[in-house]
Every structure is written in structure tokens, then in C-alpha cells.
């Protein structure tokens, strides 16, 4: 990070087909050796940005909106998980990034306890750890989680232990078990895999209840889309989650001539993304039709009107 050599090619014995796997699972084995590197200016001041600095940057005079969701408590405590309430819905932002490195995520113990407290605060009833129903007297709100990693990639156990000074990590099974104890949880939004996917998480022993997990592709990769998600009162005690994919306004024909407008640059981006090896037109990143424009139903956990 601080030296004067920059790797420029794969190490001998690492094929292009294996490059991504090697980079994500054993990055120290990925970089080139010997004369494969380029000379760059050494900089002993170069360093990674820690979590507290990252959060604090969102409160600079130039940031819009100020804080971008992070709170003064995040700045004080050096954390990056938070909650906010919008029209009867509590949004819970998880920080699933691993301080130990690696591409997969984790939820450390302090964050797991914070999440439990947040869920209790917006639930008039939930299932206790012993399996019995607990009544709280709290007002109900729908709960939507969002995070970078989803249920399939919260596997960085070493990262969770490091973040919490050696405390046991809470992986996907523990997180799903916690969420199923709270019927007000209806949706989990995430990304990381760059692939559209929709998964149902039925609540054990409660037909029609549970929550949906919706993963959305990356704007930078094919198919270069975003997603609008809406919560709708479907009537008769049901809730609907409507998911609609959005394309940007970049032109769809191949770029010709100078790039004179933002739409020209966006169109070139789409063209390059579609033709990228392994992740373009023939990649699975678009998902199936059931992973894109869908309306997902479930029983409302409490009367919505």
C-alpha cells in the first residue's frame, strides 16, 4: 500500500478464469511478482480510511444530504448502523462490512444487540427466545432492513470476531432466527452479488407470514438497472411489496462520434457493460423474470388502517 511497486499482471499459475475467486478468497496470492510490477511514487502516508473517518466524511460542508442517514451517535461511537422512521415504517440500516477484510460480510455482537432492541421498540408483540409470545405495549410499525450483504454472504466469521474483540459471530442462521421472532419484519433489501434475486423467508409455523429478501443488481454492471420498491396495503389483511426495475436514459445504440452529453456517456457505459467478459449479456446478473418486476404478497403483521 505504501511502496513503490504496483502489480500489473496475474502471478504465474493463476488463470484468468480463476482470477476473481483468488482475489476474493486469497488476495495475498493474487498480485504479480518480479518484473510484473510497475514503478509508482512511494507514499508512506497512504493508508486505509477507517470506519469513523468514513462516517465523518458524510458530515462535511459539501455532503448532500448532511450525514446521508448517519447520526451523531455514529460519529461519536464509530459505528455505521442506524435507523429512521418514515410514515409508519422503521428502516434499519445494517453495517455488514468486515473490518478484517474479505468480500463477505458479518454482523458483530454489539450490532446484533442493537438490532434486537430496535425490533422490540416497534413491536407490540414478538416471540421470546424461549418460544413464548411477549407483549410489550409498544406501537407497531412495519420493519424494512437494508444492508450491503444478503443472507447468502454473511459468512465472514473472522471479521465478526475481530470487530467485537473475540465475541462469537452472528451468521445468517442466527440473524434469520432473530428476524422470524418479529412478525413486523416484512422486507430485507441488499446487494453485493450484483445479481437480481428475490427470496421468500416464510415464518416457521405461521402460514402466509414471513418476509421477503430482495437483492438488486449493480448499476455499473449489466443490465445497468436500479429498482423502485413500494409497500402497498393490498386489503383483506394482506401487504404487497411491488418491485419495478428502472433503466437509465443513456442511448441504447452503439456510441458514435464525440460524447457530448451525459446520455452519450451513459449509453457508452451500457454498451461496455453488456460486452464485458463473464458479466455482460450472457451473465446471470439479470436474474430470472421472477427476480425483477414482481409484486410480492404476505399477510400484514397487524391492521394497516
pLDDT in tens, the chain (305 residues): 788 877 777 777 778 787 777 777 776 666 655 556 788 899 999 888 889 999 999 999 988 898 999 999 999 999 999 999 999 999 999 999 887 777 889 898 899 999 999 999 999 999 999 999 999 999 999 999 999 999 999 988 665 455 555 565 677 899 999 999 999 999 999 999 999 999 999 999 888 889 999 999 999 999 999 999 999 999 999 999 999 999 998 888 877 788 888 888 899 999 999 999 888 999 999 999 999 999 999 999 999 98
Backbone conformation region of residue 26, classed left if phi is above 0, alpha if psi is from -120 to 50, else beta: beta
Print the domain residue range for 84: 69-192
Tell me the per-residue pLDDT of 115-135, one tens digit each, with 9 for 90 and over. Answer: 999 999 999 999 999 999 999
Among all chains, which residue has been given the C-alpha cell 455488514? 96
**Residue 179, exposed/middle/buried by CB under 10 A (0-12, 13-18, 19+)?**
buried
The span from the CA of 11 to the CA of 2, in Å, is 20
Residue closest to 77 by CA, chosen among 34, 126, 114: 114
Q: DSSP string covering 198-258, please?
A: EEEEEPTT-TT-EEEEEE---TTSTT-EEEEEEEEEEETTEEEEEEEEEE-S--SSPP-S-
Q: What's the structural domain count of the chain?
A: 1
The pLDDT of residue 219 is 93
What CATH number is associated with residue 97? Answer: 3.30.750
DSSP 172: H
The pLDDT of residue 273 is 94
Residue 235 lies in a domain: no
The span from the CA of 280 to the CA of 272, in Å, is 8
Residue 23 lies in a domain: no
Residue 165 lies in a domain: yes
Helix (H) or strand (E) holding 128: none
Q: What is the pTM of this model?
A: 0.86
Residue 173 lies in a domain: yes
The pLDDT of residue 253 is 81
Residue 268 lies in a domain: no
DSSP 60: S
Residue 136 lies in a domain: yes
Residue 46 lies in a domain: no
Residue 202 lies in a domain: no
Tell me the per-residue pLDDT of 68-94, one tens digit each, with 9 for 90 and over. Answer: 999 999 999 999 999 999 999 999 999
Amino acid at each position: 500500500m505504501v511502496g513503490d511497486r504496483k502489480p500489473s499482471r496475474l502471478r504465474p499459475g493463476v488463470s484468468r478464469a480463476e482470477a476473481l475467486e483468488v482475489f476474493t478468497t486469497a488476495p495475498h496470492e493474487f498480485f504479480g511478482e518480479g518484473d510484473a510490477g510497475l514503478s509508482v511514487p512511494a507514499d508512506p502516508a497512504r493508508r486505509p480510511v477507517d470506519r469513523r473517518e468514513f462516517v465523518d466524511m458524510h458530515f462535511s460542508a459539501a455532503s448532500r444530504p448532511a450525514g446521508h442517514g448517519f447520526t451523531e451517535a455514529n460519529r461519536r461511537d464509530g459505528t455505521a448502523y442506524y435507523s429512521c422512521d418514515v410514515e409508519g415504517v422503521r428502516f434499519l440500516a445494517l453495517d455488514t462490512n468486515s473490518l478484517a477484510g474479505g468480500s463477505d460480510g458479518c454482523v458483530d455482537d454489539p450490532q446484533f444487540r442493537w438490532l434486537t432492541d430496535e425490533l422490540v421498540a416497534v413491536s407490540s408483540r414478538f416471540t421470546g427466545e424461549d418460544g413464548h409470545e411477549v407483549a410489550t405495549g409498544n406501537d407497531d410499525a412495519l420493519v424494512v432492513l437494508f444492508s450491503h450483504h444478503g443472507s447468502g454472504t454473511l459468512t465472514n466469521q473472522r471479521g465478526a470476531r475481530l470487530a467485537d474483540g473475540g465475541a462469537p459471530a452472528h451468521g445468517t442462521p442466527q440473524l434469520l432466527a432473530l428476524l422470524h421472532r418479529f412478525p413486523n419484519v416484512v422486507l430485507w433489501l441488499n446487494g453485493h452479488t450484483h445479481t437480481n434475486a428475490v427470496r421468500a423467508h416464510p415464518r416457521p409455523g405461521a402460514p402466509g407470514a414471513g418476509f421477503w429478501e430482495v437483492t438488486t443488481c449493480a448499476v455499473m454492471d449489466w443490465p445497468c438497472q436500479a429498482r423502485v420498491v413500494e409497500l402497498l396495503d393490498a386489503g383483506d389483511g394482506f401487504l404487497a411489496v411491488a418491485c419495478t426495475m428502472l433503466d437509465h436514459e443513456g442511448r441504447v445504440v452503439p456510441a458514435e462520434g464525440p460524447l457530448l452529453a451525459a446520455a452519450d456517456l451513459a449509453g457508452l457505459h451500457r454498451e461496455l457493460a453488456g460486452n464485458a467478459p463473464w458479466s455482460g449479456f450472457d451473465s446471470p446478473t439479470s436474474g430470472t423474470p421472477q427476480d425483477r418486476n414482481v409484486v410480492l404478497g404476505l399477510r400484514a403483521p397487524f391492521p394497516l388502517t
